[in-house]
Amino acid sequence: MGTIDLDFDRKHIWHPYTSMRDPLPVYPVKSASGVYIELEDGKRLIDGMSSWWAAIHGYNHPVLNKAIEQQAGMMSHVMFGGLTHEPAVALAKKLIELTPEPLQKVFFSDSGSVSVEVGIKMALQYQQAAGHSEKHRLLTLRSGYHGDTFTAMSVCDPVTGMHNLFSGVLPQQVFAEAPRCRFHETCSDGCIEDFRRKLETHHRELAAVILEPVVQGAGGMRCYSPDHLGKVRELCDRYGVLLIFDEIATGFGRTGRMFALEHANAAPDILCVGKALTGGYVSLAATLTTEQVAGVISEGEPGVFMHGPTFMANPLACSVASASIGLLTSSDWRKKVLNIEKGLSLGLEPCRSFRGVADVRVLGAIGVVELENPVDMAAIQKSFVEKGVWVRPFGKLVYLMPPYIISGQELTALSNAVCAAVGELSPGNG
């Protein structure tokens, strides 16, 4: 492998959320193994991000390598229209076994954002088929994030979200206050009141409610009471509105349960999963729904669900996803996540006393330091690399979502680097 041409990269390759006029620095990666990313210059970084929360087993895992290599030797891809294959069937069986009993139908897609588009389209087509064409809007929570594609953007936070510049052309959705109740608290009537009122006022035009259960991800990394989910489920049933759970960031053990919805024992009508589904190897997502939703759509006009991605149910992706789920369920992943939770709680605690820190919160394998002001991304990224870790903050949030295989020593090094970097942001912190 030759040296990466960083000058070409800077001039011609558009990285996510960056300017082509004044791009942020990028760090050339040579390889990755376990919890380490090795840069071209030989520097090894402990990965605190699981490559945007997906690489839960770390990198270059022999079980996952074998799964994708064996599948490539048989069939790398075949269209899913009119054809099927064992990797897709095997993965669908696993997903149905892992998720709540009402979810019996699986639709595969390419990415998390697309799985949200699929879930929303299911809800809209369901209402149309049920004779409720007036039900065409969505109710969601402020501080949420559901992806970068168009309808997904419309249910991201309209003020603090990344997509407010598109607000004039996006579908206009209904937003309720973000839950104020923290994870270990009870959701009071006052906390759910704005949501209840919005649902009562708008239910005749609402196709569905969509939210991230227990943890709001890129919209603010906020953890809230599972009790809130139970109340939302009751209200959706009362007003005849479908409920969509976006578990793309929280699925597959990240919060200490296989899915975050298990904290509340609440089942949605539609469930979106992605990210960690394949252990971070290739892009794949799925949208699960109930017999009821699928039946109504299939009996209405035109009698089919109107979506079909080119690479839907890609055999390579399905094979490595099944292997990743098998690797997870056969391990003591709950203990691993609990140990990460304990390590992050202890390791990030010093940040609470720092000036400029608004909050520190930990749930499962998620650790968040919320600052009072946005970070200088280029400067803090350089600081983290110098400290031997890979952490990618956004806005006011410095957060960790490490691979589950991280050792106690590596987790301590990661937490220490965060505390040191955050401490450097405000003179006098010590």
Catalytic annotation, residues:
17, 145, 246, 275
3-state SS record for the chain: CCCCCHHHHHHHCCCCCCCCCCCCCCCCEEEEEECEEEECCCCEEEECCHHHHCCCCCECCHHHHHHHHHHHHHCCCCCCCCCCCHHHHHHHHHHHHHCCCCEEEEEEECCHHHHHHHHHHHHHHHHHHCCCCCCCEEEEECCCCCCCCHHHHHCCCCCCCCCHHHCCCCCCCEEECCCCCCCCCCCCHHHHHHHHHHHHHHHHHEEEEEECCCEECCCCCEECCHHHHHHHHHHHHHHCCEEEEECCCCCCCCCCCCCHHHHCCCCCCEEEECHHHHCCCCCCEEEEEEHHHHHHHHHCCCCCCCCCCCCCCCHHHHHHHHHHHHHHHCCCHHHHHHHHHHHHHHHHHHHHHCCCEEEEEEECCEEEEEECCCCCHHHHHHHHHHCCEECCCECCEEEECCCCCCCHHHHHHHHHHHHHHHHHCCCCCC
